[in-house]
Amino acid sequence: EAGVAQSPRYKIIEKRQSVAFWCNPISGHATLYWYQQILGQGPKLLIQFQNNGVVDDSQLPKDRFSAERLKGVDSTLKIQPAKLEDSAVYLCASSLTSGRETQYFGPGTRLLVL
Amino acid sequence: SQKIEQNSEALNIQEGKTATLTCNYTNYSPAYLQWYRQDPGRGPVFLLLIRENEKEKRKERLKVTFDTTLKQSLFHITASQPADSATYLCALDGNTGGFKTIFGAGTRLFVKA
């Protein structure tokens, strides 16, 4: 069984530029999560999708971050414009149903904002 | 506010010994608690889940305890090996604050041969 795929693996941009990350969850998984992990900290949930609907986006900085889940499968996370403090690893995870269970994580995208 | 605390200092132990990692939480009523392993440059990998009505869970060399009175979970790795060296994250899913998973910052474990 293929795992969660993410791309790109690394990205370097300058502040005020925009960037987009892509995630392909495990086939058949209804729930998809985007986390931000700053160096030395645990992952922080940005947004959670159930199929193509948003379950929780309370910690998503909506003035600059946006996310969508196309047809309830793939997802993209966008930052526009980026700030220095957005430098982090962006992790995508998926789970079979509605959460409260094991999450399977992708390798993450490491973003550096200069 | 909800808070999860894990040992911020790295834990160094000798191969063959038991590693014990601690996860404490406040202002939270978790329905269950999970432990994940994270290697450098990789995403977290699920290890064990324990529910609020369970006291202990085991899987091979791993053991987790969950004390909802003390608001604490202990994670044990017996007969530790250098390959166990990694960061271990505690994660809670609760009955408060919605259903989102909240992660601790993790504890770095080094097992010396």
Domains of chain A: 5-113 (2.60.40.10)
State the nearest Cα–Cα gap between A80 and chain B, in angstroms. 24
- Chain A residue numbers touching B99 (CB-CB < 8 A): 55-56, 98-100
Please indicate if any CB of chain A lies within 8 Å of the CB of B34. Answer: yes
Contact A13, A114 (CB under 8 A): yes
Please indicate if any CB of chain A lies within 8 Å of the CB of B49. Answer: yes
Closest CA to A111 of A81, A92, A85: A85
Cβ neighbours of residue B51 under 8 Å, at least 6 residues apart? B31, B32, B66
pLDDT of residue B76: 98
- Closest B-chain CA to A56: B100
pLDDT of residue B97: 52
Total domain count, chain B:
1
For residue B8, the enclosing domain spans: 3-112
Distance CA(B22)–CA(B67), nearest Å, equals: 11
pLDDT of residue B28: 81
Written as six digits, the tokens of B7 are 């040992």
Which residue ranges in chain B fall short of pLDDT 50?
none
Q: What is the CATH number of the domain that holds B52?
A: 2.60.40.10
pLDDT of residue B99: 61
DSSP string across chain B: --EEEE--S-EEEETTSPEEEEEEEES--EEEEEEEEE-TTS--EEEEEEETT-SEEEETTEEEEEETTTTEEEEEESS--GGG-EEEEEEEEESSSTT-EEE---EEEEEE-
Could you count the other beta carbons within 10 Å of the beta carbon of residue B81?
12
- Chain A residue numbers touching B30 (CB-CB < 8 A): none
Tens-level pLDDT at each residue, chain A (114 residues): 689 999 999 999 999 999 999 999 999 999 999 999 999 999 999 999 998 899 889 999 999 999 999 888 999 999 999 999 999 999 999 998 765 678 999 999 999 999
State the nearest Cα–Cα gap between B113 and chain A, in angstroms. 25
The strand order across the sheet containing A65-69 reads A5-7, A19-24, A75-79, A65-69
- Closest A-chain CA to B93: A100
- Three-class secondary structure of residue A86 per DSSP: helix
Task: Tell if the CB–CB gap between B49 and A41 is shorter than 8 Å.
Answer: no
